[in-house]
Structures are given as structure tokens and as C-alpha cells.
Amino acid sequence: MQSTLTQNKPFSIDDAPIADDLKPISNDQRTVGAFAYMSMWLGDGFNIGNITLGSSLVVAGTATMSLFQTLTAAAIAIFIISVIFALNDRFGYLTGSPYVMQLRLSFGTTGAKWASLLRGVPAIVWFGFQSWTGALALNQIVRILSNGSFNNTAICFVIMQIGQILIALKGFKSIKIVTSIISIIVMVALFSVFILLVTQHGAVIQSKLVDVHGSWGLTFFSFIVAFLGNYTAIFESAADYSRELRPNLSNKYRGLLYFLPITIAYGITIVTGAMLAAVTGISSPVNAMSTLFNNNVITLFVSGFIVLGVITTNSVANIMPPTYILTSLFKLPQKWAIAIVGLLAACSFPWLLVQDSSSAGLALFIRSYSIFLGPMTGIILVEYYLERRQYINLSSLYNEQKQQSIKWNAPIALLIGAAAALIQVDLSWLVGFAAGGLAYIVLNRLRKEARELPEEEVNKLDVDE
């Protein structure tokens, strides 16, 4: 009798067999305001990974693009990043649901879980890489303060991982407070490094970076893809962040919350990284700064900024998205998922991505995962805007009995987009985005899949047919 009553009971999202962290956040539970949200992206932009990406422009002391070309490529990438962020954040902002639930719309319940790994794996590797560079800086701090008696980057790496995991365990409220405070400190510190470089090494920068002819061809566009790919995993899962943002903010206003901080932070970090590498010939920013300033007080200051920047970046971009994914895949409690993410990040061998002579490994890593995330972005935008007209039936989305296990159009389109991107890896994101999105449109016309649409759309389709 009990089972019959349960079976006949109207479906409620609260009763859905899914972790509470993946259920919609109501408007009164959203605690992140506009200033804190901008601070998140400001703190995320001022990070060692972005500086390292800028240093990848310089190989063996020689810049592959001029400063003007670098700024132009960065401006194009930042514009695309901001537009896609503003478009893709609407699902999470309007529904309160995370990215892994957004993937159900196009991939199905089971398909979404495995497709989400394409976002989770890069985040875990980034988590490890950021933590390793933070550990290098922390090691410098402790070595200076101990007069050289301590020198162990591995121990500092463990300390960095444990500290960040503890912050993440406190949830988004803790992340909001930490990033709001640290982002201002990091911004002042990085501007100080920028000014020191310009004022003390202007002649070297002029000859090795400004006066370089560079290339407006494939090299130029490949760096646009690298700059763009650096953010693709983040704007891919925009719903994970926008669901925490306070309600009643217009689309244009939210767009500015991305564009302004990303423009300031990303632009200055890329240029600073390129300048550092050009002046020192060293691609690792931590080692480059240590060599450049050769002053314990300045090194302590700069190293402290790097450690703080790592904490804000990982807290915002690299811990919570894979945590939600593990929660969805294995129905783990969030605390266990965060701990596992930290362990996996430590096992990603982050020290191999950047060497003193070159940071090309990092740029290659970005272009490689962009092969899949470019098509994925095209697919989820087509699904939300073109196929569903921004209409989401949340009750149906969370009711697994009303959802297909795997919707095959999206995986097929993803493979088509990835295959196209492989033809020209240097342009992987741009090619994959266009090919994957177009393939998904065509497949949806050839092979229709069930979707919940508003009543007027259903009536329109009936008339058309």
C-alpha cells in the first residue's frame, strides 16, 4: 500500500533522487551580490595561470607576437568570453540549477554525467597547476623567513591543497568573502609588478616585445584560441556561479559583471606575463619574479600575491565545478567530493606543464581540451536558445522518469565538432564551436528528440507540421 501511495504521489523536486547541492537554489537563498560577484572574477583573472599564459608568447627570450598584436588578440578573446558568459549564465540565473543539470537538456540524464567530465577534468588539472605554482611561491616565502633552512616545495604544495579544501568546505559563502578581500590585494600587487617592469626595464620590453614584427597569421589566431580556451571551462559552467547571484539583475547588467573585471584582470596579467618572460627569458612567473627583483622584501610581497591569487582562482573556477560533477556521478556528499577533487589535482603532475625554458605545455593543454569544450559550448547554447527558446520545465528536468537516459544527437555533434577541431588544433575552440553547433542544428532537424516546450511553441510546431 505504501509503495502505491508513493508511486501515485505528484512529483516534487525536493523528493528527486539527487544530491541536495544539485537542486535549484531559491531566490531567498542567493547571497552573492554584484560587488562580490565582480570581485570573484577580478580575483580569478589576477592569477598565475593567466600570467603564465602571457609568458607563453615568449620562447627562449624571443616574443612570437608584438605587444600590439598581443593586446589585440586578448581584446578579441575577452569580447567573445564576455558575450558567451552573458548568454550562458541565464540558465543558472533563471532556474537556480547547476551546469550538470543544464547538460541534461541536450545529453540526457546519463549522458550529462559523462559529458560533464569534459569540464571536470580540465578544472582538476588547473587546480593542481595553480596549487603547484602557489606552492613555489609559498616555498620562497618560508625559505626567506627561515634564512634558507627550509626549502621543500612538495610540503608547501600539500599545505596549499589542504588550505584550499578547507575554504571550499565552507561553501560559496566562504568563497565570496575570501575572494572579495583578496581580489583587491592581488590587483594592487600585480599593478605594482607591472609598473616596476615598465619603469625599470622599459628598454628591454621595447626591443623584445614592442618592436617585434610578430605574425598576424596562424600564430595570432592560435593565441586568440589559447586566451579564449583559458576561460572556456569556466564560461561553459556559468550556471554554477550565476545560480548564486542575487535576483532581479538585468541581462545587460550581468554582462558588465563579467566584462569589466575580466577585461581589467585578464588584460593586465597577460601583458605582465609577456613582459616578465621577455625581460628574464624565464617562462615560470614565480622563478622569473624571483630572478628579476632579487630582493627579499619585494620577493616576499610578490610571492604573497601569487599565493593569494591561487586561492581565489581555485576557489572560484577549479574546485566547485568538478565537485558538482562528482556529486552527480557518484551521489557523494559534497565534503567527500571536494576532498577527492583535491586528491585528484595532486595526482595530475602539475609541475610538468611549465618549465623555466618554456610554458608551451600549458598552451598545448588549453588547446587540447578546447577540442571538446568548443563543440560543447555550441551545443548547449543551441539547445537553450534555438531549440527550447529559453523555456525550461524544472519539474520535468529533475524527474528522471520523464528524461531520456542518453540523447544521441548531442554526443554525435560533439564528436563531429571535435573531429573538425582536430584538423587545426591551433584553432580548436573556434572550429569546434562552429562545427559542433552547426552539426547539432542539422541533427535535430533530421532526428527529432523529445523536448518540453511552452504551449505556444507546441501549437506552432503542430501548425507547421
DSSP string, 316-340: IIISHHHHHHHHHHH---HHHHHHH
190 vs 179: CA distance, rounded Å: 16
Kindly report the pTM of this predicted structure: 0.82
Residues forming beta bridges with residue 62, ordered by sequence position: 59
Instruction: List Cβ neighbours of 429 (8 Å cut-off, separation of 6 or more).
Output: 225, 228, 229, 232, 367, 370, 373, 374, 421
130 vs 368: CA distance, rounded Å: 18
pLDDT at 54: 86
CB neighbours of residue 186 within 10 Å: 28
pLDDT at 173: 60
Instruction: List Cβ neighbours of 379 (8 Å cut-off, separation of 6 or more).
Output: 106, 410, 413, 414, 417, 436, 437, 440
User: Which residues of the chain fall below pLDDT 70?
Assistant: 1-10, 59-62, 171-183, 352-363, 453-465
pLDDT at 77: 92
In this structure, are residues 252 and 322 in contact, taking their beta carbons and an 8 Å threshold?
Answer: no
42 vs 395: CA distance, rounded Å: 35
Helices (H), 58-171: 67-88, 90-95, 99-102, 104-107, 109-115, 117-145, 153-169
Return the residue matching grid coordinates 520535468. 396
Burial class (CB in 10 A: 0-12, 13-18, 19+), 158: middle
pLDDT at 245: 93
349 vs 125: CA distance, rounded Å: 8
Question: Domain 29-351: what homologous superfamily?
Answer: Hydantoin permease (1.10.4160.10)
The H-or-E segment that residue 59 falls in is: strand 58-59
